[in-house]
């Protein structure tokens, strides 16, 4: 009963399942808010416009903006670490060749296996000292593109290429995946997308990595767990699913079943989740989405009407979602269209997210280890009441 002075709230209590709205720890790495996304004091649009991915990786891992000398040393070191153990590449190639080269293949699983194998040849694997953690972070950052590329080329039945020491990380990633030197624009757009994907405070995969790190487990174990978390369609897997949805819409239109509007009306009637839309934190839009869309559109416009059509469909989907549901796209929505017009195979979209987010994950693993306490929250028990075993019916 409420007293006469108490005001009865008509508001539904906040749904805190999935730790929604709860702050569970401190970090110096990243600040996510409705108004800004900041990596160690630098705002995301500023970084996307003025920095390179290697500079951002230095900011996240080492902790500050590099001087010209520091950047050169950092980049040289990364280049020197790109080669991956031959035996590991052979396993990657074998698994990749046994997967169908279609959207059903799971390069995320291949990459997770690759990282797990890397742990066995990393001399610092079981060493959690800050120096060893930094060396492992750099090796992972340098070697993930090699693994992604080797898997993709093997899956397509092509001869994998060695990493190119003359290319920056983004361009080298495209080179390793295709065996072709990327255009300047494609390399730039990949670089920007890696900057945008690099870090996002306590998202599910980073939190998973921190939980694993908090047990004092090694960095590779934490990264394997993070990859598992990122693979899901509610998290990083959404960039692949967003493109799959656009392809479905295109096929629906081509079959004469209707247009984008009727596709969306059917999706709403069936209460389908639209991939690449919505966000746990951002309720007024994801700061990264517009930046990536504008870079992707440059490629689409350059490639002609067949490429531009994906942005036309996507823009209409976005408009309908906003007008009818007040839900905005997250970074994964423009990512799908952008990587598609760049010619990147859809199953590699989430592994590319890993190639970038490895910087954020490693920064968080190191931060967790710097001031560690086991992450072990409590649960609210809602199961059956206490019953004597011998008195219970089976």
Q: Contact residues for ligand SDX (CB under 6 A)? A: 18, 20, 200, 203, 234-236, 238, 273-280, 327, 330, 332
- Least Å distance between CB 324 and ligand SDX? 10
The H or E element spanning position 197 is helix 184-197
If the CB atoms of residues 160 and 329 are measured against ligand SDX, the closer one turns out to be 329
Which of 58, 200, 220, 235 does the annotation list as catalytic?
Answer: 235
If the CB atoms of residues 274 and 362 are measured against ligand SDX, the closer one turns out to be 274
**Strand 42-43 with 30-32, pairing:** unpaired
If the CB atoms of residues 61 and 335 are measured against ligand SDX, the closer one turns out to be 335
- Least Å distance between CB 278 and ligand SDX? 2
Q: Report the distance separating Cα 299 and Cα 213, nearest Å.
A: 40
Q: Report the distance separating Cα 60 and Cα 279, nearest Å.
A: 23
The H or E element spanning position 39 is strand 37-39
Name the packing angle between helices 130-155 and 68-80 (round to 10°): 50
- Least Å distance between CB 365 and ligand SDX? 15
If the CB atoms of residues 75 and 241 are measured against ligand SDX, the closer one turns out to be 241
Residue 91 CB-density burial (10 A; 0-12 exposed, 13-18 middle, 19+ buried):
middle
Which of 122, 191, 286, 332 does the annotation list as catalytic?
Answer: 332
Which of 58, 200, 220, 279 does the annotation list as catalytic?
Answer: 279
Cβ neighbours, 10 Å, residue 197: 25
C-beta nearest to ligand SDX: residue: 278
Provide the 3-class DSSP secondary structure of residue 43.
strand
If the CB atoms of residues 188 and 280 are measured against ligand SDX, the closer one turns out to be 280
CB 275 within 8 A of CB 242: yes
As a whole number of Å, the CA-based R_g of the chain is 23
**Strand 30-32 with 37-39, pairing:** antiparallel
- Least Å distance between CB 235 and ligand SDX? 4
- Least Å distance between CB 332 and ligand SDX? 5
Q: Report the distance separating Cα 106 and Cα 197, nearest Å.
A: 20
Residue 234 CB-density burial (10 A; 0-12 exposed, 13-18 middle, 19+ buried):
middle
If the CB atoms of residues 115 and 245 are measured against ligand SDX, the closer one turns out to be 245
Residue 235 is a catalytic residue: yes
Residue 279 is a catalytic residue: yes
- Least Å distance between CB 81 and ligand SDX? 25
CB 37 within 8 A of CB 200: yes
- Least Å distance between CB 148 and ligand SDX? 19
**DSSP β-bridge partners for residue 277:** 329
If the CB atoms of residues 279 and 369 are measured against ligand SDX, the closer one turns out to be 279
Residue 364 is a catalytic residue: no
Which positions ≥6 away from 364 have C-beta within 8 Å? 27, 29, 206, 209, 210, 213
Which residues form the catalytic set? 235, 279, 332
């Amino acid at each position: 009963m409420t007293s006469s002075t108490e005001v009865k709230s008509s508001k539904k209590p906040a749904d805190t399942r999935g730790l929604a709205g709860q702050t569970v720890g401190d970090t110096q790495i990243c600040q996510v808010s409705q108004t800004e996304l900041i990596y160690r004091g630098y705002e995301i649009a500023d970084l996307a416009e003025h920095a390179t991915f290697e500079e951002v990786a230095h900011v996240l891992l080492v902790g500050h903006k590099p001087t010209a000398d520091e950047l050169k040393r950092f980049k040289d070191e990364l280049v020197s670490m790109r080669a991956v153990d031959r035996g590991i590449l052979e396993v990657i190639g074998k698994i990749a060749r046994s997967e169908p080269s279609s959207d059903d293949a799971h390069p995320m699983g291949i990459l997770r296996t690759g990282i797990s194998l890397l742990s066995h040849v990393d001399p610092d694997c079981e060493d959690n000292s800050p120096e060893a953690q930094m060396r492992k972070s750099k090796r992972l950052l340098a070697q993930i593109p090699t693994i992604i590329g080797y898997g993709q080329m093997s899956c397509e039945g092509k001869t994998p290429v060695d990493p190119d020491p003359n290319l920056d990380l983004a361009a080298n990633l495209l080179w390793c995946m295709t065996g072709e030197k990327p255009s300047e624009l494609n390399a730039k757009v990949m670089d920007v997308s890696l900057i945008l994907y690099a870090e996002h405070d306590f998202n599910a995969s980073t939190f998973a990595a921190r939980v694993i790190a908090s047990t004092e487990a090694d960095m590779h174990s934490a990264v394997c767990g993070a990859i598992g978390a990122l693979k899901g369609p509610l998290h990083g897997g959404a960039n692949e699913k967003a493109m799959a949805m656009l392809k479905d819409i295109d096929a629906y239109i081509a079959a004469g079943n209707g247009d984008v509007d009727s596709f969306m009306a059917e999706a709403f009637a069936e209460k389908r989740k639209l991939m690449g839309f919505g966000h746990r934190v951002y309720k007024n839009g994801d700061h990264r989405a517009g930046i990536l869309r504008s870079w992707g559109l440059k490629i689409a416009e350059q490639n002609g009407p067949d490429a531009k059509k994906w942005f036309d469909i996507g823009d209409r989907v976005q408009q309908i979602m906003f007008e009818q549901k007040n839900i905005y796209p997250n970074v994964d929505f423009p990512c799908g269209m952008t990587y598609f017009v760049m010619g990147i195979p859809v199953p590699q979209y989430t592994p590319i997210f890993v190639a970038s987010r490895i910087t954020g994950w490693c920064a968080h693993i190191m931060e967790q280890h710097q001031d560690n306490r086991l992450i072990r929250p409590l649960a609210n028990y809602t199961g059956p009441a206490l019953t004597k075993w011998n008195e219970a019916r089976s």
